[in-house]
Structure 1
Amino acid sequence: MDPFKNWQEWHKNIDTFLGDGFLSSFESILQYNHFPLVNVCKTENEILVIANIPGLNDINNVDVYIDYQSLELKGDINLRYKGYNLVQDELFNGHFERSIELPYPVKDDRIDATYQNGLLIIHLHRLIPDDMRRQKISIKKIEE
């Protein structure tokens, strides 16, 4: 379950309790707890996870782990430019870890991940356990 799923509602309640704009000064810190931003799309048997990871110069700087019904992303982004001093810091830079709960269990042997234009796209396939597969049952006729 995503702990930030109801963030807008929490934000509104905290502002009501502590005063309008209280959390505004903390948002730049809090947004990194939710990095990278992801979209999760599903069909009956497939899932696409699209993660927004700009600035990933080397795909070996990100690791993707699958565990039954969760996906974990870990990596490092380096957006520092040699010879330049940072004046404004809004883009994520550094180490990140994000765990995403998937809508259903997935196969760990049918995963495809690609990175293009700042998007990591992970294609997963539903795990259908043998005990959940449709199986025809033979009927025995009992003679009287």
Structure 2
Amino acid sequence: MSNLVSVPKNGSLSNTNSNLNFPSWSSWIDDIFNRELPSVLTSNFSTGMTMPQVNIRETADAYFVDMAVPGMKKSDFNINLDNQLLSISTESSEEHTHENENFTRKEFGYSAFKRSFNLPETINENKIEAKYNDGILSIHLPKKEEAKQRPPRTIKVS
């Protein structure tokens, strides 16, 4: 496949005049945003939590929601059900202080997430259960009796 546009090494698509030694405005902006960030900005001030991955599976009797959230405690989770909307959230903060004769260093981190799911009306809301084990939050969403899949049966003709 042939290239339609030749892109300079800095990734800028702007035309530059080779007679001028001063960079164009857009290449100057590109240069700022393409630089490596100073280590002070990339240091580990946060706990590094991102939006957790979720697996949802259905069986004949229930739905199961499994969420990968290692490093949390059971008490960190807020699980709410409001009009068929299941919301799972957590919020945590961390602070470390290192004191020495000549300096005090304070580091802190904050992380939070919220995931929401619209549940079908076939869920038995009174029997929802949640467990947290080995970094996995598991929520069991049982179906109402009338919504459970039943095995096929043969009907005799009389």
Which position in structure 2 is the counterpart of 1:41? 57
Matches within 5 A, 1:64-143: 64-78=79-93, 83=98, 94-102=111-119, 105-127=122-144
**Deviations 1:22-62, CA, capped at 9 Å, x for gaps:** xxx9xxxxx94xx2211011112201100111110x31111
CA separation of 1:81 and 1:46: change in aligned 2, threshold 3 A:
farther
In structure 1, distance between residues paired with 2:82 and 2:123: 8
* TM-score relative to the length of structure 2: 0.47
Deviations 1:99-120 (A, max 9, x none): 0233553122102211111100
3-state SS in 1 of match to 2:70 = coil
Q: Max radius of gyration: which structure?
A: 2
Q: By how many angstroms is 1:98 displaced?
A: 0.9
The answer to whether the 8 Å contact 1:68/1:108 transfers is no
The CA distance in 2 between the partners of 1:39 and 1:67, in whole Å, is: 21
How many residues align? The count is 94
Alignment partner, residue 50 of structure 1: 66
Q: State the AA in 2 paired with 1:53.
A: V
Give the number of the structure whose residues are more often helix, by fraction: 1
1:82-130 superposed Cα distances (whole Å, 9 cap, x missing partner) = 54888xx9xxx51211102335531221022111111001111113579
Pair 1:79–1:129, CA change in 2 (3 A)? farther
Structure 2 unpaired stretches of 5+: 1-33, 35-48, 99-104, 148-158
Match for 2:76 among 39, 44, 61? 61
Structure 1 Cα separation of the partners of residues 122 and 82 of structure 2: 8
Q: Which runs of 5+ in 1 are unaligned?
A: 1-24, 26-30, 131-144
Tell me how large the CA RMSD over aligned residues is.
3.3
The offset of 1:67, in angstroms, is 3.5
**TM-score normalised by the chain length of structure 1:** 0.51
Q: Which runs of 4+ in 1 moved over 4 A?
A: 78-86
Q: Which amino acid aligns with 1:122?
A: I
**Cα distance in 1 between the residues matched to 2:122 and 2:97:** 44
